[in-house]
Structure 1
Amino acid sequence: MSYERFVAVIADIATNIPADHVAAWASALMNVDTPGDSAVAAKLVGARPGFSVGTHVERLMRSWRTEAPDLPGSAVGLALRSAALMQGRADARRTELAVSGPTSAAVPVRLTSSVVVEVIRAARSRLLVASFAAYGVAEVVAELRSAALRGVHIDLILESSAEDGGALRGSAGAALTFAALRHQATFWHWPAARRAASGNSHAALHAKLIAADSRVALISSANLTDRALSHNIEVGVVLHDPEVARKLVAHFQALTDPRTGVLQQLI
């Protein structure tokens, strides 16, 4: 017997109801032999009330009776638990869009300004912040100071002015925006001599990244400026994927390695 339709229903239910509901249903199904038991639906509804469970229970029971009547309740419960586990793993690695400027109804998105604050607040031990330009962003500076006060180590990797060998013209350099964090964060730049030594005299430190604890990262076209975070048309992605976040952080850790890296601590 093919269980494809029933499998699809199981997966969809695990996607649309909370994990604790799934666990309660699985426990309730352990001693159920067949879907023909008239008390099963009531048992499932009573196991974890709320969240419009009646609709989901009805759908599960209908599919179980028609698509997989030979399966015992213990097997259905195990399938629900497995589907919920996989859904949880997928949620932990989800990717979201972040935008600045005008929004559209095409896809659900989140504003870059709010995502920046959320990622900073998510940090418990380390924050990596990289930006080409920086100006204003008083809220971001305040959030970074709060992070430092709760013991978060902050690395700020910023482009410098043309006078200091960087690519920012008509600017004092991005580090000036974060002057209030001078004694609470580690500042990094790409010195002109190291750009020249690697044949990159005209290259720029152009990355825009915020990573919290190697768990979540925002990669965006937006610089840390008031205009970029709120008004410009900018796009980015939020990566809830520890494996990818770790690789991003490891890359910049290699660049700041005092033995082999091209970046240098700004004293």
Structure 2
Amino acid sequence: MRRETGGEHLGGREGHPSHTPASVPSTRSGSPSPRLPGLLAALCDRLPVDRAVVLERVFETVSAPDDPLLSRFIAAQPAAGLAHQLAEIARAWRTEAPGMTGSGLALALATARSFPRPRPAQVVVSGPMSAALPTRLTSGVAVEVIRSADTSLLIASFAAHGARDVVTEIGRAVGRGVQVDLLLEESTQAAAAFTALPDKVHVWHRVGASAVLHAKLIAADRHTALLGSANLTDRALSDNIELGVVLRDPSTVEPLVAHFRWLLAPENRVMRRA
């Protein structure tokens, strides 16, 4: 969506001036590049599709960047950094394209969303959330990653307790035919948190007692993975100070999943079915 800058104006011919509407940022050589396209693209990188669609509908209902409805919507956002991100978009809209309607901004956001591109790693945290980074809470991201699985889920955790939303979402994944493998530390009795799940779920423990399974991973198919310090416990997912990242680049996620699948292969004698 970023407009190229240069000495030639769109619609102009050599020797003839070109007229640029006042509501469109100038792309004349030496002028600052417009920020609005990049801000909208960054917002698409952050938001799941369903939340992006909700935001597009909000934009369609507002008339201008100073519309009180938009201000109230921005102020009501609980996710860390999201209100700041939306406020930056409103400021860029006001300075760069004040004549654009809310419907026009909604169309721009929908256009950015419709062109898939590699998505950067996203920071997730548990515990207190600041506005320093556009982060999301671990509990919500864990459920979202599980929900995105079409064929397989590979989940590893040192400890597990409670985490009802995660357990419920795993059960739903099993119901739609997803193969689920849980790699759990036996010494913490982590498997007890998943006893309500169907027998189709495979539970794995580390072979031998010389070391433990300490990894924390939720991998959906081979396209998305949540890595971090949080175990699948209520405190770790919400209250403890924990840190993680979501990877949505298949070229990174695929070898990661392949490594854990190698750990599960019986001939490698690393993991055993419980």
TMscore range, shorter length: 0.5 to 0.7
175, 181, 184: which one pairs with 2:197? Answer: 181
- Residue of 220, 227, 230 corresponding to 1:219: 227
The C-alpha deviation readout for 1:80-109, integer Å capped at 9, x for no partner, is: xxxx99x956x4231111110111121121
1:18-97 pair list within 5 angstroms:
32=11, 34=13, 36-38=17-19, 55=23, 58-59=24-25, 62-64=26-28, 66=29, 91-97=117-123
Q: Secondary structure at the match of 1:243?
A: helix
Q: Superposition RMSD on alpha carbons, in Å? A: 2.8
Distance 1:9 1:258, change over 3 A: closer
Counterpart CA distance in 2 for 1:108 and 1:238 is 13
Question: Aligned residues: percent identity?
Answer: 47
Q: Which residue of 1 aligns with 2:184?
A: 158
TM-score by length of 2: 0.62
CA shift in 2, pair 1:9/1:178, >3 Å: closer
Q: Name the CA shift for 1:9/1:174 in 2 (closer, same or farther; >3 Å).
A: closer
Gaps spanning 5+ residues in structure 1: where? 1-7, 13-28, 42-53, 69-83, 162-167, 196-200
Task: Name 1:10's counterpart in structure 2.
Answer: 3
Shift in CA distance, 36/101, structure 1 to aligned 2, threshold 3 Å = same
1:46 match = none
Q: Distance in 2 between matches of 1:232 and 1:216?
A: 24
- Judged with a 3 Å threshold, the aligned counterparts in structure 2 of structure 1 residues 257 and 36 are, in CA distance, closer, same or farther, namely farther
CA distance in 2, matches of 1:92, 1:262: 34
Deviation track 1:21-62 (CA, whole Å, cap 9, x = no partner) reads: xxxxxxxx7xx4649444x75xxxxxxxxxxxx75xx22xx3
Amino acid at match of 1:209: L
- Name 1:206's counterpart in structure 2: 214
Other structure's SS at 2:150 match: coil
Which is greater in Rg? 1
Structure with more relative contact order (C-alpha pairs < 8 Å, separation 6 or more): 1
* CA deviation vs aligned residue, 1:178-203 (integer Å, no higher than 9, x gap): 011241311111122xx5xxxxx1x2
- What are the ranges of 5 or more consecutive residues in structure 2 without an aligned counterpart? 32-110
CA–CA distance in 2 between the matches of 1:177 and 1:9? 48
Question: What do the CA deviations read for 1:122-180 (whole angstroms, capped 9, x no partner)?
Answer: 1111111000000011111110000110111111110002xxxxxx3xxxx11111011
For 1:254 and 1:101, the matched residues in 2 are separated by: 34
Separation in structure 2 between the aligned mates of residue 213 and residue 144 of structure 1, nearest angstrom? 13
Query: 2:133 aligned to 107, 115, 132, which one?
Result: 107
Cα distance in 2 for partners of 1:11, 1:158 equals: 51
Which residue matches 1:141? Answer: 167
Q: How far did residue 9 of structure 1 move?
A: 5.9
The verdict on how the C-alpha distance between 1:182 and 1:261 changes in structure 2, with shifts beyond 3 A counting, is farther
Shift of 1:248: 1.1
- Higher helix fraction (1 or 2): 1
Partner amino acid, structure 1, of 2:118:
A
C-alpha change, 1:226 and 1:103, in structure 2 (3 Å) is: same
Q: Select the residue among 225, 234, 240 that pairs with 2:242.
A: 234
Q: Report the 3-state secondary structure (helix = DSSP H, G, I; strand = E; otherwise coil) of the residue aligned with 2:196.
A: helix
Q: Which residue of 2 aligns with 1:251?
A: 259
1:124 to 142, 150, 162: 150
Equivalent position amino acid for 1:152 in 2: V
Shift of 1:10: 2.5
